[in-house]
Amino acid sequence: MKNTCLILPLALAATLLAQDVPRIGILGDAKLTVNEVIERVLASDTDLAVSRITKQEAVLGLKAAQGVFDPKLGFTGRQNRAISPVSSSLGGATNGKLTNKEFLTDPSVSGLSPLFGGSYKLNFSNSRQQTDSTFNTLNPQFLTSLALSVNQPLLRGLRYDDNRHRIHVAKKNIELSQAQFRQRIIETVTRAVQAWWELDFAYRNLDVQKEAVRLVERQDASNRRLVEQGLLAPVDVVQTQTLLATFQQNVYTAQSNLTAAENGLKAMMLPERTDLMWGMALVPERAVNAAETQPSLDDAVKQALANRPELKQSDLALEVNRMDVKLAHEQTKPQIDAFATVSANGLAGNLITQTGANPFSSAFGPLIGQINQLSALNGLQPLPAISFGSGGVPPIFVGGYGQSLSALGTGHFTTAVAGVTFSLPLRNRTATAQAAISAAEGKRLSTQHRQVEMAIEADVRNSLQLSASNTLRLEAARKALANAQEQYASEQRQFQAGTSSVFLVLQRQTDLINARTRLVRAEADAGEAGANLDRALARTLETRKIEVR
């Protein structure tokens, strides 16, 4: 009766401990392979979305830099009316004031040359001028002009300038954003695979701990029957139920770890907290994948150095620095520019008839008359009458705006100007200092480049060793489990034959559970090590068949 009283409370405790802790907020199950997890994580990763926007901004940055060479349309239009006081008869005004009117339009096209750093401007000037001056023979008159101006650097800015520098840097920024985007995907996929393996381990570890409880429960039931038969002491039941309580604690801990791993993966996968999958239990579903062949150390290092995005970013930084050095050196050169302007002009207007006496003719008329009288007395030919502004006008100039364009098109009235300008700062300390700064920056980037190569070398070596060690550790864990199962079965047979004890049976059970736990941990670690090796060799995207766009 005393033995029965000892066993019953412990049996009640075992019944209470055997109850699973409910999954809070879980309404169903959802099976997920590692590839499905990767797809969901990539679709919902906000940092990846930011990196994608950065790529788009880099492309737009190139377009913005190239836009400096887009031609620019210009237009100038004005209308003038000026009334000037005139006190002299030579001013062309008969009433003391001179009125001039002008309407001008001047459209133009200008821009920069993307080849040799020059600039150009083509403008077409049109004006209509009207005046009440008595000296004009064409009124109104139409003036047209077509002019082309070109400025071309001969030394500084000929081969390289700030505009072309910005375009080249913008192209490198596109490559840089692509390398950063690729690196972000690799890191995201690696974290997703590792999180999936952690969830897989949490599920399998929970199963192992539950199996441990079931094994001890069966042993406990067997021990209590033997106690009732008087074949075992009650303390043997106490040993079994103590181990049962310990394993139950392991179950509850494993359940909590499962929830944490599951929620961690959900936080990576789901775009928002209201997603219905928050209420689902994520069940890892393994797919049969061909084992990756582990490369040799030399091949692995070569592959990593050729494909790692970090090294690509370092290379791009060095290339941009070389462009900075080139631009800074260009600024130290003298400024020698050639310029040229070619223009054609046209003129036309309405011919007016002189109605009153010409002021110049009236002023010189008496003088000419006296000279002619003296000439007659000396037998000389008389001088002709002086005419100002009353002579004939060439027919090409008589007409309206169309006639002015016709005169412009003949090319008879052209102007050509060409020359060279030269500018040389006596010390040019700013450009010299900037060139020295760019050179020093190049040395710093070269040092960092070597540091990146060293870090990649160490990362590849560590990843290869970790992958190889975990592969061997997994094989050892499988052998250890097989041995633990055989030892447990052997101990059970000895116990049933009466040649063993409850303590040894429970010890073998504990060894078996530990072996199973180490196996599932080794499987997860091997999977995570494989993902880490893919990351170190920059082959994650190829292994997972992910296309980067």
CA distances 26 to 154, 189, 256, 279, Å, are 76, 26, 13, 5
Token pair for residue 266?
């959900």
Within 10 angstroms of residue 173's Cβ, the number of other Cβ atoms is 20
Mean pLDDT of the chain: 87
Q: At which residue do the structure tokens 């009124």 appear?
A: 139
Backbone angles phi, psi at 342, to 5 degrees: -125, 130
CA-nearest of 421, 422, 404 to 413 is: 404
Q: What is the residue type of 367? A: L
Residue 1 pLDDT exceeds 50: no
Tokens of 63: 């377009």
Whether 156 contacts 334, CB under 8 Å: yes
Q: Does domain 184-329+430-543 have CATH number 1.20.1600.10?
A: yes
Region for residue 283 given its phi and psi (left: phi exceeds 0; alpha: psi -120 to 50; beta: otherwise): beta
Q: What is the pLDDT of residues 266-283, one digit of tens each?
A: 999 999 989 999 999 999
Reply yes or no on whether the pLDDT at 527 is more than 50: yes
pLDDT of residue 352: 77
* Spans of all domains in the chain: 184-329+430-543
Let me know the angle formed at the C-alpha of 163 by 159 and 169, rounded to the nearest 5 degrees.
Answer: 95
pLDDT higher than 90, residue 85: no
Between helix 234-269 and helix 502-536 the angle, nearest 10°, is 20
- Helix/strand number for the chain, H first, E second: 12, 8
Taking a C-beta distance cutoff of 8 angstroms, is the pair 169, 320 a contact? yes
CB 107 within 8 A of CB 94: no
pLDDT digits (tens, 9 = 90+) for 31-51: 999 999 999 999 999 888 898
> Cα 420 to the chain's mean position, in Å?
43
How far apart, in Å, are the Cα atoms of 104 and each of 72, 76, 101, 365, 396?
A: 20, 8, 10, 39, 22
- Is residue 539 predicted with pLDDT exceeding 80? yes
- Strand pairing partners for 111? 120
Indicate if the pLDDT at residue 136 is higher than 90: no
